[in-house]
Structure 1
Amino acid sequence: MKYKKIFPILALTSLIFSSCDDQIMEWEKDPSHGEVTTAELPLELAEKITRYDALNTYTDFVLGNGIGVNLYLEDVVYQKIINENFDEVTAGYDMKHGPMVNSNGELNFTKVDAFIAATKEAGLKVFGHTLNWHQNQNASYLNGLIAPTVIPGASGSSSLDLSGLKDGTLNGWGAWNSGDGITVIDNSGLTGTDQAVKMIASATSSAEYNLQLVSPDITVVQGHNYEISFYIKSDQPGSGRISFEGLDNNYPYKDWFSTDGEWTSSFPTTSAWQQVKFNVNDFQGNTFKMAFDLGKLPSVTYYIDINNINVVDLDAEPEAILNLSSLKDGSLSDWGAWNSGDGISVIENSGLTGTAQAVQMIASATSSAEYNLQLITPSISITQGHNYEISFYIKSDQTGSGRISFDGLENNYPYKDWFSTGGDWTGSFPTTSAWTQIKFTVNDFQGDTFKMAFDLGKLPSVTYLIDVDNIIITDLDASSGSGGGSGPIIVEKTDAEKAEIIDASMEDWISKMVGHYKNDVFAWDVVNEPMKEGGSLRDGNVTDLADDEFYWVKYMGEDFAVKAFKYAREYGNANDVLFINDYNLEYSLEKCDGLIEYVTYIESQGATVDGIGTQMHVSLNSDKSKIEQMFIKLAASGKLIKISELDVRLGTNSPTEAQLAEQAEMYRYIMEMFQKNVPVAQQYGVTVWGVSDNVQEHEYWLPDESPNLWDTNYKRKHAYKGVADGLAGKDVSEDFSGELDN
């Protein structure tokens, strides 16, 4: 279960566990009762408990504890208890994807390396927790991997007549040396719904001019620079060239296409769409033509996206609705950097293309309202009655929140009909580490000008980037041809592409984690909590995801666990012990059955599962008969069985003597049932989840509770005796001789 998060306490006959909540709750004392301490115990019993040996002396299987890494490294008393009583430790949070993986997918091993070194010195083993889970993930990074591809648009309006391509007639275009065919195909362009020119090189094609498509005359202005750009792909590795009629150099062999730093007249093509972009200016007259020469290699089929063949006059006077000049020069002179947080600046090489500019806005550590970080545009002139589309691209270094507010609209702080989140309209929009386009329309102007503000101060310590070139305000009712550059193209990834990307990310994460700790960690929780309560596999179709939730199964299907176990085995040691783990198996026997069936499926697909972990976060009201039935079912699987996260909650942080005794009895019962029903050869061991009831252990996990074996002052509770007696199979204290200390 989550060490970082909090479980809500549910008052049920048998306590049911579910997803953890993200709110930090305060640990409080009952003023009528006081702290949970051994003072609740009768003196004779308390003295008996002090005479017990260390817990791990009462069993031959692995006895572990789920711990906080920071506490272990920093608290001497806490560390001493763990070192003396346990054989193995599980990091409750710090070895998971979320804390290990940064926004670029890189792993930071520093803290866990220190933890491993300290436990190794103490003679403890470390159980790896966990390689694949749907929570405590760097979900922002993972979602960024499968976000739509953002393809830059042209720098301005195109001078090229595409009508003969768009109607499929090729009128005005010269299909010279047409190879095995030059045709226009629907639903084959960049977005999957656009048109593309399909050009097929013949089996004997061997020179560029063996397959050529020549444009109509293109009118130019002498002395101006023109940008030519298009998108192309091929069914196999191919080669292309652009030649010209009307230039001083119609067959250029340098300063055109760069390949690994070498300039060449041709460009390679692959099965992925790529943009080819370059400039020309050596015109002989006022028109020129260009030819797509694709005949160099035989039997290659090429596709050129029609909507994105552009010839743009870079020196034409743009019709700018929004003045970006002081952003582009970094001065912000006519932009208002109101409430600038920890800084508003223009950064080079940080925009959409990686070489474009971006506005960087950093929210301060105390930022809590949208207006705590604001960037205001200059006045923007508009035509009353027209509709204006506003669009821009934004991303953040972690999950963030943005809003656009206005000066000069009837509704300057709109809270509906703007940004849709799950079908609900809201005044704010979320941001992640992936570039996201925000687009909406306004028309309720009070006058002939307005301003808009990027309000990014709602969440503290978030850094935002806004691509400068793609802050675009368009008059939707202006006559055609009046605009400047085209906006970027959004290409959604297919389900197959997402599956491939997420699979690769899983392999990268597991290979690096398991590989790095190959000489230190020999047992892993590979897949954590894959099942629903009724026994079916989780499907990842969750509407209200937490910031750290990411469902691998949603993209990889039921084989996500197959892959996880295969990768853990491939990159780890051949003899590593690999577990699957889940909770509430003692509450829902159907879930227990479903987990065992899933293990059977995983192994039918060629992976090996060594063990099954049952968490056992139980209460005094948990059904003891179901607990025994669960152990019987798990043992019948033939796998190693581990109690992976055991604690017994009481529903209070100030229990009575009777409740402490019942807690001890439940711990003892579970230890006895584990050993009675699981054959010795299948008993991997038991991990108790947490050390004490001390407040520092319960800021995030089980606040207002008393589930552990030591009290708030790190004194042994009655539960300590219950565990020891259960492990030993008898009341150990009956063998004590001599007088107890008074």
Structure 2
Amino acid sequence: MNTNTHKGFNGLVLLVVFVLLITGCAKFENREFLVDKPQSILDQEALDALGELKSYVTYSNQPSFTLGAEISLNDIRNNSLLYRLVQKQFDQLGLGSVLSHLNSVQADGSIVLTDLESALAANDTTGTDAYVGHLVWHQNQRSAYLNSLIADIVLPGESGSDVVVDFESNNLGDTYPTTTSDVEAYVINDPDGKSGKVLRVVRTTGTAYPQFQITLPEGRQLKHYTTVQVDFKGGTCCGYFGFGMQMAISSSLGNVGTVGYASPSSFGFPADVWGRGLITLSLANLNLPESLKEANTFVLTLGSGTGAADYLLDNITMNWNIPGETIVKTPEEKAAIIRGELDKWLKAVAEAANGGASSWSVVYQPMDDNNPSEIRTGVGTTVPANTFYWQDYLGKDYAAIAINLFRQYYGNNVKLFITETNLIGNTAKIQGLKDFITYTESKGAQVDGIATELALDLNTNKSQVEAMLSALAGTGKLIKISAVDIGVGVTVSLANNDLYESQAEMYKWFVDAYYRLIPPAQRAGIIFKSPMDRATSSNWRPGEPVGLWTTQYLRKKAYAGVVEALEANKGK
């Protein structure tokens, strides 16, 4: 190859390399500078770069503070993604709504708490704390069972018939006394040959009524009997007509005054024919004295009023009716029964939990909304189904009873709260709650703290919330926000960036307000009711974006709002 050819090749190579370098640079510049990331991705990356929520909390100056999120027992048992997220981000599980007396207590009074037991046992291995409630409430109670225990005892009535005289045990010719000393009635065979032995009453002139000494079955008295029935057969000459059936009840034999009834002819059977069970005479007509009504043994006088007696009697039957009786339980008896049920319930919960939670809501919503200085009551109202007011039977002491019982079974290494709701802008209710706690403690029960639940939105009156926090702090008790979420007024499908920005600011303000207004020693923590936005199938704020995460587990601006507030208050 000559020198000129070699130089031309080298120049071509340099040209190709130069072109390739220029082309490569152009492609690099397009990737780096001409294609920008969407702002939404940049925002999400910034959120993802934030630390875990609990890493922004200083615990040394606020020893009772916990940062929690509400979760279900199913999530714990199944080790769901949400449960793992909550464990990573928070130091307490909010189980404020998992206990239901209605679901746990069966119709027969037995108690099933396997869900609570298994969930807390599973969580115990993770070292994550739990807050559980509510032990004593008026709603979601197995009220049908409880009411059955204190209901009046209704003893059903009984009725029947006793054949007191049928002459079958007599011998033929046996006699019975009558109201006159010169005439006796005597036993013969039934002339019709159908009913064994019968009694014949005969007196040629005037009348005589046979008498029978009766002893009633044990346990029954004359007052229980209503009528007397008798089989009768008489002719037109000798008793079928006359001046009526006659009856008396006395304590002894002899000539007694009788009370008249209709004649046998009026009871619907012909003369000289047996009227079987057709003659019925009311005992009420006799106007018996109380002494006889209480009798078990007496003399029955019974016959037909006629001028020339000749008639037959058989099967004298007395019909009785013992009315039902209602035994009313006294208030003291009811209180003892209900206290026993409360004892059984709290003991079962304590045993099932087995120390798996450090704090509990023992009494929920004690104060009356319409009369906030008084506890709730169902007296004078139509109590809805599955509602039971324990306090209506145990009185104002019911909270003290519950707290002391639960400490007895669970141990003293636990913080017990009374939870009340609807406190924003309600100074009267806060005062009523404060007075109720003072009363409860005067009965020897230690109340560690007050818990409240807050469903806020973008338009919530901040000054009223701050006033509420200040008033609660003034009680000197631990103050726990056991459930808080902040809605934006629309569902996820309608929410926009401006609303989410406002929500983040609202979360930031609330956490900051809690820190500013609750002294460190009184801070028992905040539990976020909805760590994630609500599903459309949820019973609580369905479809609303109230959480710190989306339903796809993406952090929201609200997450950053909470982080900013926690970080700003570190060590305060």
Relative to the length of structure 1, the TM-score reads: 0.49
8 Å CA contact retained: 1:132, 1:528: yes
Q: Which amino acid aligns with 1:610?
A: D
Q: Which residue of 1 aligns with 2:550?
A: 711
For residue 539 of structure 1, report the CA deviation from its aligned partner: 2.1
1:66 equivalent to 2:70? Answer yes
Q: Pairwise mapping of residues 380-391 of structure 1 onto structure 2 (< 5 A)?
A: none
Match of 1:677 in 2: 517
Where does 1:217-236 land on structure 2 (aligned, <5 Å)?
A: 219=164
Map residues 283-682 of structure 1 onto 2, 5 A cutoff.
Answer: 287-288=214-215, 488-533=324-369, 535-536=372-373, 537-541=375-379, 543=381, 545-654=383-492, 655-682=495-522
SS of residue matched to 2:533: coil
User: How far off its partner does 1:311 sit?
Assistant: 9.1
1:589-626 deviation per Cα after TM superposition (whole angstroms, max 9, x unaligned):
22222211211111112211001102122122211112
Report the 3-state secondary structure (helix = DSSP H, G, I; strand = E; otherwise coil) of the residue aligned with 1:646: strand
Counterpart residue type for residue 153 of structure 2: T
Q: State whether residues 486 and 546 of structure 2, in contact with CA within 8 Å, keep that contact through their aligned partners in structure 1.
A: yes
1:78-93 counterparts in 2 under 5 A? 78-93=82-97
Partner of 1:48: 46
Tell me if structure 2 keeps the 8 A contact 1:694–1:714: no
**Structure 1 unpaired stretches of 5+:** 1-39, 160-217, 225-284, 293-305, 313-480, 732-742
Deviation at 1:73, TM superposition (A): 2.9
Q: Counterparts in 2 of 1:158-173, with a 5 A limit?
A: none
Look up the match of 2:130. 126
Structure 1 residues 591 and 515 mapped into 2: Cα distance closer, same or farther (>3 Å)? same
Alpha-carbon distance in 2 for matches of 1:112, 1:73: 10
Q: Is the 8 A contact 1:63 1:687 kept in 2?
A: yes
In structure 1, the residue corresponding to 2:372 is in which secondary structure? coil
Does the CA contact (< 8 Å) of 2:70 and 2:528 recur in 1?
yes
Give 1:686 shift: 1.0
Work out the CA distance in 1 between the residues paired with 2:318 and 2:568.
Answer: 86
1:426 maps to what in 2? none
Query: Secondary structure of the equivalent of 2:358?
Result: strand
Partner SS for 2:127: coil
Kept after mapping to 2: 8 A contact 1:532/1:538: yes
**Partner secondary structure for residue 519 of structure 1:** coil
Alpha carbons of 1:585 and 1:219: their partners in 2 closer, same or farther (altered >3 Å)?
Answer: same
**Contact 2:69/2:531 (CA < 8 Å) preserved in 1?**
yes
Q: Distance in 1 between matches of 2:79 and 2:380?
A: 39
TM-score by length of 2: 0.62
Q: Which of 98, 114, 121 is the matching residue for 1:117?
A: 121
Aligned residue in 1 for 2:528: 688
Asked whether the 8 Å contact 2:491–2:544 carries over to 1, the reply is: yes
Structure-2 change in CA distance of 1:577 and 1:669 (3 Å): same
In the alignment, the residues of structure 2 paired with residue 137 and residue 725 of structure 1 have an alpha-carbon distance, to the nearest angstrom, of 41
Q: Which has the higher helix share?
A: 2
Determine if contact 2:225/2:321 at 8 Å carries over to the other structure: no
1:488-540: CA deviations, max 9, x gaps? 43333333332222222112211221233243233110101111335322222
**Which one-letter code corresponds to 1:117 in the other structure?**
A
Asked if 2 retains the 8 angstrom alpha-carbon contact of 1:584 and 1:617, the reply is no
Tell me the distance in 1 between the aligned counterparts of 2:354 and 2:167.
66
Q: Is the 8 A contact 1:130 1:525 kept in 2?
A: yes
TM-fit CA distance, 1:44: 3.4
Q: Which amino acid aligns with 2:88?
A: E
Counterpart residue type for residue 104 of structure 2: M
Inter-partner Cα distance in structure 2 for 1:497 and 1:723: 52
- Report deviation, 1:557: 2.2
Aligned letter for 1:146? I
CA contact (8 A) 2:452 2:482 kept: yes
The aligned amino acid for 2:42 is E
Please state how far the C-alpha of 1:724 moved relative to its aligned partner.
Answer: 1.9
- Residue identity in the other structure for 2:365: E
CA distance in 2, matches of 1:659, 1:531: 35
- In 1, the alpha carbon distance for the partners of 2:349 and 2:42 equals 49
Name the CA distance, whole Å, in 1 between partners of 2:401 and 2:449. Answer: 16
Query: Equivalent of 1:700, from 539, 550, 553?
Result: 539
Aligned equivalents of 1:484 and 1:650: distance in 2? 74
Distance in structure 2 (CA, Å) of the matches to 1:308 and 1:639: 69
- Aligned 8 A contact 1:64 1:88 in 2: yes
Q: Contact (CA 8 Å) 1:611, 1:641: kept in 2 or not?
A: yes
- The 2-side partners of 1:632 and 1:611 are apart by 15
Question: Do the aligned residues in 1 keep the contact of 2:161 with 2:318 (CA within 8 Å)?
Answer: no
Matched residue type, 2:77: L
Cα distance in 2 for partners of 1:286, 1:651 equals 89
- Worse-superposed segment, 110-119 or 540-549: 540-549
Distance, in Å, in 2 between the alignment partners of 1:573 and 1:653 is 44
Q: Cα–Cα, structure 1 residues 44 and 592, in superposed 2: closer, same or farther, change >3 Å? A: farther
Whether the 8 Å contact between 1:587 and 1:622 is mirrored in structure 2 is no
CA contact (8 A) 1:618 1:648 kept: yes
Cα distance in 1, alignment partners of residues 39 and 429 from structure 2: 38
Cα-to-partner distance string for 1:328-351 (whole Å, 9 max, x where unaligned): xxxxxxxxxxxxxxxxxxxxxxxx
Q: Alpha carbons of 1:694 and 1:632: their partners in 2 closer, same or farther (altered >3 Å)?
A: closer
Counterparts of 2:147 and 2:487, CA distance in 1: 36
- Contact 2:68/2:527 (<8 A) preserved: yes
On the 8 A contact 1:586/1:592 being kept in 2, the answer is: no
Q: CA deviation at 1:129?
A: 0.7
Q: Which residue of 1 aligns with 2:261?
A: none
Q: Which residue of the partner structure matches residue 146 of structure 1? A: 150
Contact in 2 for aligned 1:41/1:657 (Cα 8 Å): no
Rounded to whole Å, the distance in 1 between the matches of 2:98 and 2:221 is 49
When residues 650 and 689 of structure 1 are mapped into structure 2, their CA distance, relative to the original with a 3 A threshold, is: same
Q: Secondary structure at the match of 2:489?
A: coil
Aligned residue pairs total: 393
Residue matched to 2:200: none
- Extract unaligned runs of 5+ from structure 2: 1-37, 60-64, 170-211, 227-316
